Amino acid sequence: MRKNKQGDWSISIQSLGLNSTFSTRTKKKVDANRILREIESRVDKVKVDGTHSFHDWSKKDQLTWVKTGKEPRLAQEAITVREACQRFVEFKKGQNRALNTTRGYGFDLAPAKKHFGDLPLKDLTASRLQDWVTVLSKTTITKGANRGKKLSVQTQKVKVGALKRVVRHFQSLGESGLNDRVFDAVTYGVAQPDKLSNLTPWIDFDRRVVELERLGIAQDTEGAFKQIILTESQLKEQLSHLEKSLYIDGTLATIRLYATIYFCCVTGARRSELARVRRRDLILSDDLPLVTLLKRKGRKERDLLLQKVVLPNRIAPILERLLRLLPAEQECIFTSDDDHMTQNGFNERKEAAKANYLSKHLNIALKDTKWEHAAGWHLYRHTFASRLLASGYSKTDVKEIVGWCSDQMAQRYQHHTFDRKAAIANQLASAL
């Protein structure tokens, strides 16, 4: 025992295979002697008791116990995979994450909870994880549009990645015996190509129809019209059809649906944002019509993010007609009622139900048309972003207007701009 440069007493531990020196943080020798006696007492206890569990602990836990007397969590008390997953989801809920976000964590961690159960989290090894991946590769989806299909390689990686986040979370909390590097040794199978994997991403509707016919893929195949956009002429054609079937001589419900579709086409709003548009969010009387979109962006029980969006003058009479037909006491203009509104904002569960209701009626409106299998609200958002890029707006402009948070999101539609540039280049070359 000696004094260090700060004048505090330091104690050197050179016993039981330990080699360490630590500061007692005290300048009084009497206190330092008391700490030293306690350390010597614990060391003697291990030397006398041949059955002491000291030697089963890690070096870090051994040193902590010798210095402080704090024993590590016993093996039978080690946190299990099931408990760790549950606590991780609860932690995410406590961060005010949106309902759909926390549901996603719970959904992705369900296979790990089922497979590993009460296995201690620290006992996860590369071989155990590899066996689990093998089980996942043979698992068949039982619910949803993809029921009957095996879990894809990408889905397997998502499930394993979710468990890795849990391990890292408890590592940061100081849980002993955890090593997230065991996940690096896991290998996955090679994704089996299918006919859908040959589809060109982010092309227009007509080209997708031709491509499906060439590859012999039925248009009603799940995912056949995934990653497409509408050209300006295709969008005009669809809106013209919907105007005749929904807006002209329409009822309140059909006029509301047409106004919602048109609004989505000119703002790129997400489906969830449509259910939050209220009377107070619209300004139609000025020369510059505006709307305030409320964006959740992973927020829960906090104020929604506000984004001001300029509306084209053409939509003003459509919205004005809708507002005249709506009950005077109703606030939300694109939903049938205000049941999802609360004093503090919106109820997420009811809000999701309203969004599903919008999708149901969009599918009904496009049934028995050539767009029947390509119906989806996000298609209008893709189209809006692609039209902005094709018009010469930069990715930064698109991010600001549409509300994305990364360049990668805008980059997905850059190919459509390349098509336009290729047409210009060919036109210039033909004049030579």
pLDDT in tens, 305-332: 888 999 999 999 999 999 999 999 999 9
pLDDT of 423: 59
| 245/223 Cα distance (integer angstroms) | 27
Give yes or no for residue 21 having a pLDDT over 90. Answer: no
The mean pLDDT of 281-291, rounded to a whole number, is 89
Mean pLDDT rounded to a whole number for the chain:
86
pLDDT at residue 295, as a whole number? 85
Q: Structure tokens of 339? A: 């049941």
Taking the chain, what is the end-to-end CA distance rounded to the nearest angstrom? 91
Residues 348, 270 share a domain: yes
User: Does 43 lie in the same domain as 115?
Assistant: no
The confidence score (pLDDT) of residue 426 equals 63
149 assigned to some structural domain: yes
Same domain, 139 and 253: no
pLDDT in tens, 112-140: 999 999 999 999 999 999 999 999 999 98
Total number of domains constituting the chain: 3
Q: Could you tell me the sign of the dihedral formed by the alpha carbons of 282, 286, 287, 288, in that order?
A: negative
223 lies in some domain: no
Residue 413 has pLDDT above 80, yes or no: no
| Residue 17: predicted pLDDT | 81
Pair (50, 105) in one structural domain: no
Condensed to tens digits (0 to 9), the pLDDT of residues 157-196 reads 999 999 999 999 998 887 878 889 999 999 998 777 778 8
CB 128 within 8 A of CB 163: no
DSSP H helices, 173-204, are: none
Range in 105-109, 206-210, 288-292, 408-412 with the lowest mean pLDDT: 408-412
Greater pLDDT, 240 or 432: 240
Round to whole Å and give the CA distance between 269 and 384.
9
Find out whether 313 and 319 touch, Cβ atoms under 8 Å.
no
pTM of structure: 0.66
Same structural domain, 63 and 135: no
Overall average pLDDT of the 31-41 stretch: 86
Between 389 and 246, where is the model more confident? 246
Q: Quick one: average pLDDT of 351-357? A: 92
Task: Answer yes or no: do 131 and 9 share one domain.
Answer: no
What pLDDT, on a 0 to 100 scale, did the predictor assign at position 76?
Answer: 45
| Whether residue 118 sits in one domain with residue 36 | no
What tokens appear for 327 in the block?
A: 């009950």
Among 11-15, 99-103, 131-135, the minimum mean pLDDT is found in 99-103
Residues 139, 88, single domain; the answer is yes
Which one is predicted more confidently, 411 or 43?
Answer: 43
Higher pLDDT, 382 or 71: 382
One domain for residues 9 and 138: no
Does any domain span residue 214?
no
Q: 281: domain CATH number?
A: 1.10.443.10
Residue that is written with structure tokens 């002993």 in the block? 176
Residue 193 lies in a domain: no
User: Where in the sequence is the domain holding 337, given as residue range(s)?
Assistant: 230-421
Q: Are residues 287 and 388 in the same domain?
A: yes
Q: Strand, coil or helix: what is 408? A: helix
Domain membership of residue 224 (yes or no) is no
Q: Give the residue with greater pLDDT, 233 vs 31.
A: 233
> Percent of the chain scored above 90 by pLDDT?
47
State CA 195 to chain mean position distance: 27
Residue 89's CB is within 10 A of a number of other CB atoms, namely: 20
For 330, residues 6+ apart whose C-beta sits below 8 A from its C-beta are 337, 338
Q: What's the mean pLDDT in 200-223?
A: 92
Domain match, 417 and 271 both:
yes
